[in-house]
Amino acid sequence: MTMVLGLLIRGYAFQVSDRLVTQAGGGAVRPFDPLANKTVIFRARDGILAIGYSGRAYLDGVPTDVWIAQSLAAREFSTQFGMGAVEVSPSQWRHSGPTITRLRADAEAAIGRLTEQERNSHLQRFQIIGIKLAKRTPKVRPLLCTIEEPSYGSALSLAHYGRHLAWDRQYLLMATPDMAAEELARLRSELKARANEGPDTCEAILAASIRRIADEDPTVGKDLMAVQIKSRDPHVQIRYLPFTSEASPSHEGLPLAYTPWIIAPPSVHGPALSNGGWTTRHLSWSVVGLPTQEGPARAMQRSYPRPRYP
């Protein structure tokens, strides 16, 4: 299982998820990929989306995050894809609504191609959260929807939430999959008490909730990926949250962070080890939370290996 938490509040869209992929066998659950990427950021024509998933870790024989990126960009990527400009025709760079509709249709087709054993292993869920930019006004609207497989062999459902959310004074929280009622109540209580401390506090509250779940559930990890999408002067902030120092990557003494897929046509950045952000024609993002560098500033971005389909 995976836990993905989404939050819309005060002009921010948050998504925080764990990075553990497990494999069951012989009556036990064991880690298969403890640092799997489960986040894809997509710059649609009319907004910025963060897509997370829970369920099967592989679709069509590739990691599910790679599969999501392929659906969004309408092209194939290597699991070792680093970064680059790719050809995305105007007809394939879609608005958020058609993007989500295409993702649902592609997911149904991919699940239909699974073997019976694979199809009956997990239920697939996608959480899409972000912002929609208005064409002629500076107004920005929140966006939150889910694509879910209600039962094995059933059609995927698409549900939208918060279309009329007054997010300057209200919030909307989504857990994918559902969390226990007791933990949900605690999470809501902490948000009510501390959300006014700022966006980093909201992010930390979501992260702490996932780690409490991980204390009880061996299929949820404690190393996390957190994404903040700011609606004013739209910008994406990425924070890798390792639970232990052993999970903190570095290269020749340079602290690095894991980053997700970032698709901003015509630029595509695959999951990487990085210590900085980027500004493209359509999207800017930053990597935060790393220790301060000593000596001359150095920048780095490199891909990292992904496990093969088991």
Note the pLDDT tens digit of each residue in 107-122: 999 999 998 888 888 8
Note the pLDDT tens digit of each residue in 23-64: 877 777 888 888 889 999 999 999 999 999 999 999 999 999
Helix (H, G, I), strand (E, B) or coil at 74: coil
Band of residue 74 on the pLDDT scale cut at 50, 70, 90:
confident
Cβ burial, residue 144 (10 Å; 0-12/13-18/19+): buried
Question: How many other CB atoms are found less than 10 A from the CB of residue 298?
Answer: 12
Buried b (16+ CB within 10 A) or exposed e, 181-198: eebeebbeebbeeebeee
Residue 130 token pair: 């972000």
Residue 208 token pair: 């702490």
What is residue 78's predicted lDDT score, i.e. its pLDDT? 75
| CATH numbers and ranges of domains, the chain | 4-21+39-290+298-302 (3.60.20)
Note the pLDDT tens digit of each residue in 129-170: 999 998 776 789 999 999 999 998 899 999 999 988 999 889
Helix pair 64-73, 96-112: axis angle to 10 deg: 130
Asked whether the CA dihedral 143, 170, 286, 241 is positive or negative, the reply is negative
Band of residue 298 on the pLDDT scale cut at 50, 70, 90:
low
Note the pLDDT tens digit of each residue in 174-229: 999 999 999 999 999 999 999 999 999 999 999 999 999 999 999 999 999 999 99
Global pTM value = 0.93
